[in-house]
Structure 1
Amino acid sequence: MNNATRVKKITLSGILLGFTVICVFLASVLPTSRLSLYAISSLFTAIIIIEFGTKAGWTFYAASAVLSAILIPRLEVLPYVVFFGVYGLFKLYFEKLKSRVLEYLLKFAYFNICLCLGFIFLKEFIMAGVELTAPVYIVAALMEIVFLVYDYVYTLFIRFYSSTLKPKLKI
């Protein structure tokens, strides 16, 4: 790898790392739009994976998780660290499988594990200021629908970036 390529890689990674931390910070302090900001923060990992590969994606995730935890020492960092930040990497591995059914089973299994951990350990954070009038299983089912939409939008973003933005950016 020549110096110009290395500089581009470091520069893009640094800029996207900054955007990620800003999104996670805003998700931790704003009273609304938390899920949207976490979802946006997860898209930057996809750009790194597309541009520089899986190893760089893992490095970016680790750096963003550590930096977010240092700069935002609150429980609000956990959704990014546990689910949103790493989802792009898991999505890549799951979608390499030959079976579409197995792919979605693994995606939903991962999501449901994270959701259960959230309900068990972070009930106060997830339900901050919200009075549940519906049973937990209905809330979980609705969250699974939201996850399905998130996964679909994530796929659309990857296609849009790969087909439209990447050729124009010439990174």
Structure 2
Amino acid sequence: MNNATRAKKITLSGILLGFTVICVFLASVLPTSRLSLYAVSSLFTSIIIIEFGLKAGWTFYAASAVLSAILIPRLEVLPYIVFFGVYGLLKLYFERLQSRVLDYILKLVFFNICLLLGFVFLKEFIMVGIKLAAPVYIVAALMEIVFLVYDYVYTLFIRFYSSTLKPKLKI
């Protein structure tokens, strides 16, 4: 890799790392649009993967998780670290499988594990003694639908970036 290519890689990674941390920060302080900001923060990992490969994607995720945890020492960083930050990487692994059914099963299993961890965390540490207005299984089913929409939009973003933005940016 020549110096110009290395400089482009470092520059793009730094800019996208900054955007990621800004989105996670805004998700932690704004009263609304939290899920949208977490979702946007997860898209930057896919750009790194498209441009520089899977190893760079893992490095980017690790750097963004550590930097977010250092700069935003609040519990609101956990959704990014546990789910949104790593989802783009796992999505790539799942979609490399030959079976679309297995792909979606693995995605839903991962999502449900994260959802279960979130429910346990909320129940044990945040909402002690508070009852939910709706049964947990209804909330979980609605969240699964939201997740499937998120996965679809994520796929659309990857296609749009690969077919439209990447050729114009010439990175």
Q: What is the 5 A alignment of 1:1-171?
A: 1-123=1-123, 132-171=132-171
Counterpart Cα distance in 2 of 1:152 and 1:10: 29
CA contact (8 A) 1:27 1:34 kept: yes
Using structure 2 for the length normalisation, give the TM-score.
0.95
State how far apart, in whole Å, the 1-side matches of 2:140 and 2:120 are. 13
Q: What 5-or-longer segments of structure 2 have no aligned partner? A: none
Aligned amino acid, residue 31 of structure 1: P
Instruction: Report the alpha carbon displacement of residue 121 of structure 1 after superposing the two structures with TM.
Output: 1.0
Paired residues in the alignment total 169
Give the Cα separation in 2 of the matches to 1:72 and 1:122. 19
Q: Which runs of 5+ in 1 are unaligned?
A: none
- The CA distance in 2 between the partners of 1:166 and 1:33, in whole Å, is 28
Task: Give the superposition deviation at 1:82.
Answer: 0.2
User: In 2, are the aligned partners of 1:75 and 1:125 still within 8 Å (CA)?
Assistant: no
Q: CA deviation at 1:124?
A: 8.0
CA RMSD of aligned residues (A): 1.6
Q: Contact conserved, 1:76 with 1:125, CA < 8 A, in 2?
A: no
Deviations 1:65-119 (A, max 9, x none): 0000000001000000000000000000000001111100000000000000000
Question: Contact between 1:24 and 1:38, CA under 8 Å: does it hold in 2?
Answer: yes
Alpha-carbon distance, 1:11 to partner: 0.1
The superposition leaves residues 118-150 of structure 1 with CA deviations (integer Å, 9 ceiling, x where unpaired) of 0001348887xx973211100000000000000
